Chains A and B, each alone.
Chain A
């Protein structure tokens, strides 16, 4: 289970209680009380290491040997945040070479890539060094193993935002989407980059909408792309319903007989928006409450049955909206 193969430890592990250089320390047993609960059947190596770890934490001993001890402890349980916190206290007290630490934690991360503590340690070392130059590479290495690793994306966003490293990021995202157009983390990163660089100007919106519609044409059944499209339209002055590029796209596919739930869902929401915005006054409005209800019904009974109750709920909500709108219209004409 535990991976104790940090470079120096390839040789047979010697228990701390058998090491002469530790003979001055009295190991501190874990105090579980009289009746331990959810007691873990520790291996001898684990128990030995943490008995000494507890002892030196209590003494606040900041030394080369305790630094080495935290390495063993972290390899036995990389999720032990106390170990990492104590290690940072030692690094500071001994004024250690942080570049060495950066190299070490990089290796640990690539083995323990889904762990809060190791990425956080990395971040703090980068902050202390004020050197973000190796971070994009590290996250790319990690993302090449798992392109959706949340911790890796979190680290990458932090370093990009903190040190203004947006250059080349859209290209990187585009590459990931070429590898896997359903990679939602990559779509999210696209949003992050646009939002923090150009912002959603009309020009950027046009470009991004073209890009996204292109991806949807390649693969219709891709929630990530549809969600991104909605995300873009949040910034469109006309909302969901007045971007002709989008409405034309939807209507063309609809007329061709496409009944993708994502397509129908967007048309429903376009209708809903039109109703509350009083239709915008255009004469041949196809986004009516009647159409929305019909689509909701089709989704509930045919195309998206798992979400039947949601679609009936939306249908009801839209009906209420329409009734409210009608009564408002009536009262405004009678006044």
Chain B
């Protein structure tokens, strides 16, 4: 089923404008500032509709150019991401693949060769050549290689060593440290389980107590925190839920509370998601919160409640991304007024894809020209590429049986 979604009525949106509280507070002040910027964008677009009724549209060619250029060269302002270079590859390659860009095999091999340089002799990947292995760049490198999808790229991953690295950061309580001697939080569990399940090295022993530890991160609000006791947060909630689903232990969490919290994170006026209660909208949560929905549907279905469509407002989310977050020269931003960057480009395009696809239905805002390829909500990689990698790795002999 394919549906073109219509824009919300501007007067409906206007009703959501926040008014100053009787008691002044910073949260409300900041919220009002952002709403003004966002509402201005909506008004501008609605004025343009008289001339072109197919708006908004996605600046596909500009995004492709911005991303492709970034793959070749990044300015020195990216130095603070010098310990995240596999991330840079993933943040570029994934949105390109959702935009339907096909890279030459020779170019793919060059990227795979670079990622191979980031692989540690101790297993796992570091933030750059010669850096210690770390779970976050390991996740990013594996995903990037899976997106490249060539045999040469998939062969880069040393599975036996990867497994040893995962074992080396596993904690007795079930959690994972990000690196040897590094911090423990729920990202570790997701990154470890994601790469282990993709490459076929997930053993029972590796994930002993992990589901229980993740459950202990679900908060009274319903979302998940980075560690037990902390505040529910969009990025961590995605990690927690995705990790549980990989473990096939989704039923252990309170999914009604999670659903309630998730839907509440969608902003009434903006249409995008906030990461935490009473925080500001940010386009990256289009994926972190939006991507949790398809995972949650699988849990609801197991309980006999199959939603017939998205349970969040997928049209409003597409409005926020397309109207408020696109840079005319390509690339996407956190919110109006912010500079474009590849992290927000990756996760707003991923969130846009999530919003457009529900099972095999398509719900695209304004025009089918805005349609993107779908993404696998567990890994945030195109499902055909996930399948290809699973087939490849699971046909290899298991070398982790110890």
Chain A residues within 8 Å of B, Cβ to Cβ: 1-2, 28, 30-43, 46, 50, 54, 57-58, 76-82, 85, 88, 116, 119-120, 123-124, 147-148, 150, 153-154, 157, 161, 179-185, 188, 191-192, 195-196, 218-219, 221-224, 227-228, 230-231, 234, 265, 304-310, 313, 317, 320
Contact = CB atoms under 8 A, between A and B. Distances in A.
Contacts of A76: 79
B83 A81 contact: yes
Interface in B110-148: 110-111, 113-117, 126-132, 134
Given A224-B277, A227-B220, A230-B220, A42 B268 contact: no
A38 B83 contact: no
B276 A184 contact: yes
Contacts of B84: 79
B79 A35 contact: no
B120 to A, nearest CB: 10
Contact of A150 (B117, B180, B230): B230
Contacts of B21: 219, 221
Given A33-B114, A183-B278, A191-B220, A309 B311 contact: yes
A237 to B, nearest CB: 17
Contacts, number: 209
Q: Is the interface of A mostly helix, strand, loop or mixed?
A: helix
B132 A37 contact: no
Contacts of A307: 263-264, 266, 312-313
Interface stretch (B195-203, B302-310, B379-387): B302-310
22 contacts: A30-B130, A33-B114, A33-B116, A37-B89, A39-B72, A41-B76, A79-B83, A80-B131, A81-B132, A85-B180, A120-B182, A153-B231, A154-B227, A157-B229, A219-B21, A223-B277, A234-B220, A306-B313, A309-B310, A310-B259, A310-B311, A313-B305
Q: Which of A1, A33, A34, A43 counts the most chain B CB atoms within 10 A?
A: A33
Closest A-B pairs by Cβ, 5 of them:
A231-B220, A182-B27, A38-B88, A35-B110, A188-B231
Interface of B: 12, 16, 21-23, 25-28, 70-85, 88-89, 92, 110-111, 113-117, 126-132, 134, 178-183, 219-221, 226-227, 229-233, 259-261, 263-264, 266-268, 271, 276-279, 305, 307, 309-313, 316
A35 B308 CA distance: 48
Given A31-B129, A310-B312, A79 B80 contact: yes
A80 B127 contact: yes
B231 A42 contact: no
Contacts of A154: 226-227, 230
Contacts of B75: 40-41
A219 B23 contact: yes
A37 B130 contact: no
Contact of A81 (B89, B179, B310): B179
B312 A309 contact: yes
Contacts of A85: 132, 179-182
A35 B27 contact: no
